[in-house]
Amino acid sequence: MSFVSAGGDDAPTVLALEGVTKRFGALTANDGIDLTLRRGEVLALLGENGAGKTTLMNVLFGKYTAEGGRVLVERDGALEPLEPGSPAAALGAGIAMVHQHFTLAENLSGLDNILLGTRSLWKFGWGGARRAARTRLQGIIEASGLAVPLDVRVDRLSVGERQRIEILKSLYREARVLVLDEPTALLTPQDADRLFGTLKKLTATGLSVILISHKLREVFSATDRIVVLRHGRKVGETATAAADATSLAEMMVGSAVPKTVHSARTPGEPVVVLDGVSVSAEHGTALDRVDLKVHAGEIVGVAGVSGNGQGALAALLSGLAVPAGGTAQILGKQVERVDPGGLSTAGVARIPEDRHQDGVVGTMTVAENLALENLKTPSVSSRGVLRLSAMTSQARKTIAESDIRCQGPQSTVRLMSGGNIQKLILARTLGRKPRFVLANQPTRGLDLGAAADVARRLDEAATQHRAGVLLISEDLDELLAVADRIVVLHEGRLSEAGPAAAADRNAIGLMMSGQAAA
């Protein structure tokens, strides 16, 4: 889906970054980065997680103040420096950013979110501003195709609708530069295509877009030029038309891209049997009469856009929720009460979606976090008293075996990278030779190397230890590479399982958006 954009090599420069350097303590997140953006072009900022893409854009937007370098914005034909550290100045200069985690007040309507900060705080009322704004927004919506209800509280809107509100916020402020941070992370392939269609319309009118991404596929289909970042440095720049995937990927990673393994194996007895299971959810979508079998020695992938019931499914299989209807069996035992500890002891390894929030206690040590699920085992405690030296030596062993990069068993987890925290969680859960593994978005936010490592450990668990693995992921490529069978979750309903080898990307994409019979 490539398209010709309004911007060309001769289009005027609207934005320039010169030698931007941003440090966080000892870490240099951005190291002397130069960047230019022309009118009407879509520039891809490509790089792995942690390469410094988002930091750079936060400097541009004034959320962070850089230690070195400057940002220049075109004004009346000349480039002028932008006041650093001021989101208000960035907005005033026509720079708008749609963050990966939306910056919307959920207790307000879409209209209120758009109007927030557009009128002096000391005006006692809106006068006719609200009506005028609504009229203008209707015009913008018609021109861009960003249809969305304006008077509904944001917490009742879908992810796609929230993203449209975010983009409308930018357009309403007459943004000339729109930064999109991983905009497709939560979209179906079809919604992502629709977003890129909108961008095409907008760039034709002179908008310039910076698209932050680590997905080569969308970078190739939707951008004009590509800048690659690695470890905070700019390592490459190329016109999209002249780029090739392999060299880009190597530029991102700095070495050959690790291959995902998929060993041959045959499934055995079922370890998880869901029969017409419904689960109500505190937040998000409930599970609705779901049937599923996971056998020993196989990896079943659950595809789907986040928020379609993954939370409820994971809660059920983590022991944090019980079925509201139907029957659920895990390792031959009926799920009747909330008992995460019981499941863990019975041989279920659970890898939580949010590893920082649910997986570790950040202020506790590596040794303590490794013991978190195994408090009652003899290697951790006897008669209610902790065996500190045993915990420490066990931790030292695990750190070496799993290659966890840290200062030792007594260092706090808070300071570790996401990849190392995930290694710790994998060591804690998979180290106990589980018979069923629930892995919920286990590679989200990890760089390619760390992600490949996670995939390898899951493969190992299924192949060598004959565990049944349920892998919930937003990344269809990952599922296709790792899983034996794939099911699709949409609005709480689960499709029939199909073999991954025969899966068709487009068909799965349609099922993810509910457009095909599940």
Partner 1 sequence: MSEVAAAPLKRSRPASAGAISVGVRVLAGIAALLLAALPLLATGAPIIEAYGLMVTGALGSAFAVSETLTRATPLILTGLAAAVAFRAKLWNIGAEGQLYAGAIATVVVGTGLIEAPAFITLPAVVLAGAAAGAFLMLIPTLLKVRLGVDEVVTTLLLNFVVLLFVQMLLDGALKDPMGMGWPQSPPVVPAAELPEIWPRTRLHAGLILGIVAALVLSFVIARTTFGFRMRAVGENAAAARFAGISVAKTMIGVGLISGALAGLAGVGEVAGLKGYLTSDISPGFGYAGIVVAMLAGLSPIGSVVSALFIAAIYVGADSMSRALGVSSYLADLIVAMALISILIGEVVARRLTRGAR
Partner 2 sequence: MDLLDLVFSANFVAATIRIATPLLFGVLGALLCERAGVLNLGIEGIFVAGAFVGWMAVYAGAGPWGGVVAALAIGAVFGAIHAGLTVWLALSQHVSGLAITLFATSAAYFAYRTALPDVSSPPRVTPFQPMEFFETVPLVGPVLAQQTPMTLLAFLLAGLIAYALSRTPVGLAVRAVGDSAAAVEAQGLPVRPLRTGAVVAGSMLMALGGAFLTISAFDAFYFGMVNGRGWICIALVVFASWRPGRAVAGALLFGAFDAFQVRLQTQAGVALPGEVFLMLPYLLSILALILVARRADYPRALLKPYFRNDR
Q: Which of 473, 487, 483, 495 is nearest to 299 (CA)?
A: 483
What does 116 interact with, of partner 1, partner 2, none (CB < 5 to 8 A by kind)? partner 2
Which residues in 413-442 contact partner 1 (CB under 8 A)? 415
Nearer to partner 2, 104 or 199 (CB): 104
**Considering the rule CB under 8 A, would residue 25 count as an interface residue with partner 1?**
yes
Q: Which of 164, 184, 113 is nearest to 476 (CA)?
A: 184
Using CB under 8 A as the binding criterion, the count of chain residues that bind partner 2 stands at 35
| Contact yes or no for 296/268 (Cβ under 8 A) | yes
Which residues in 16-45 contact partner 2 (CB under 8 A)? 24
- Distance, C-alpha 511 to centroid of its chain: 20
| Contact yes or no for 27/43 (Cβ under 8 A) | no
Binder among 381, 393, 460, 518 for partner 1 (CB under 8 A): 381
Residues in contact with 266: Cβ distance below 8 Å, sequence separation at least 6, in sequence order? 297
Nearer to partner 1, 304 or 359 (CB): 359
The pair of structure tokens assigned to 116 is 């927030």
What does 119 interact with, of partner 1, partner 2, none (CB < 5 to 8 A by kind)? partner 2
In 240-313, where do the E strands start and end?
270-279, 287-295, 298-303
Q: Which of 420, 260, 292, 428 is nearest to 351 (CA)?
A: 428
The pair of structure tokens assigned to 157 is 């809107």
Point out which span in 2-10, 195-203, 224-232, 316-324 binds partner 1 (CB under 8 A).
Answer: 316-324
Partners of 328 in the beta sheet?
Answer: 274
Nearer to partner 1, 209 or 424 (CB): 424
**Considering the rule CB under 8 A, would residue 100 count as an interface residue with partner 2?**
no
**Considering the rule CB under 8 A, would residue 62 count as an interface residue with partner 1?**
no
| Contact yes or no for 351/436 (Cβ under 8 A) | no
**Considering the rule CB under 8 A, would residue 371 count as an interface residue with partner 1?**
yes
| Contact yes or no for 333/346 (Cβ under 8 A) | yes
Binder among 185, 312, 320, 437 for partner 1 (CB under 8 A): 320
Which residues in 336-365 contact partner 1 (CB under 8 A)? 339-345, 350, 352, 357-365
Q: How many residues does the chain have?
A: 518
| Contact yes or no for 487/303 (Cβ under 8 A) | yes
d(CA 288, CA 400): 44
Nearer to partner 2, 1 or 415 (CB): 415
- Distance, C-alpha 73 to centroid of its chain: 30
**Considering the rule CB under 8 A, would residue 474 count as an interface residue with partner 1?**
no
**Smallest distance from partner 2 to CB 338, Å:** 18
Binder among 123, 283, 337, 383 for partner 2 (CB under 8 A): 123
d(CA 59, CA 416): 24
Point out which span in 111-119, 193-201, 312-320, 329-337 binds partner 2 (CB under 8 A).
Answer: 111-119
Point out which span in 98-106, 250-258, 417-425, 438-446 binds partner 2 (CB under 8 A).
Answer: 98-106
**Considering the rule CB under 8 A, would residue 106 count as an interface residue with partner 2?**
yes
**Considering the rule CB under 8 A, would residue 64 count as an interface residue with partner 2?**
yes
**Considering the rule CB under 8 A, would residue 410 count as an interface residue with partner 1?**
yes
d(CA 338, CA 320): 5
Q: Which of 158, 73, 88, 51 is nearest to 447 (CA)?
A: 51
**Smallest distance from partner 1 to CB 350, Å:** 7
Binder among 8, 126, 269, 407 for partner 2 (CB under 8 A): 126
Nearer to partner 2, 66 or 292 (CB): 66
Point out which span in 102-110, 219-227, 231-239, 486-494 binds partner 2 (CB under 8 A).
Answer: 102-110
**Considering the rule CB under 8 A, would residue 18 count as an interface residue with partner 1?**
no
Other CB atoms within a 10 A radius of the CB of residue 158 amount to 13
Nearer to partner 2, 119 or 194 (CB): 119
CA angle 16, 22, 24 (to 5 degrees): 160
Binder among 368, 447, 474, 484 for partner 1 (CB under 8 A): 368
DSSP-derived letter for residue 413 is: G
**Considering the rule CB under 8 A, would residue 121 count as an interface residue with partner 2?**
yes
**Smallest distance from partner 2 to CB 181, Å:** 12
**Considering the rule CB under 8 A, would residue 372 count as an interface residue with partner 1?**
yes
Which residues in 227-266 contact partner 1 (CB under 8 A)? none
SS3 448: helix
**Quick one: 198 exposed, middle or buried, by C-beta within 10 A (0-12, 13-18, 19+)?**
middle
What value does the CA radius of gyration of the chain take, rounded to a whole number of Å?
A: 25
The pair of structure tokens assigned to 367 is 């040794």
Q: Which of 357, 208, 303, 315 is nearest to 509 (CA)?
A: 303
Nearer to partner 1, 148 or 314 (CB): 314
> Using CB under 8 A as the criterion, which residues of the chain lie in contact with partner 2 when the complex forms?
24, 63-65, 85-88, 90-92, 97, 99, 101, 103-108, 112-113, 115-126, 169
Judged by the rule CB under 8 A, the positions of this chain that interact with partner 1 are 25-26, 318-320, 339-345, 350, 352, 357-365, 368, 371-373, 375-376, 380-381, 384-386, 388, 410-412, 415
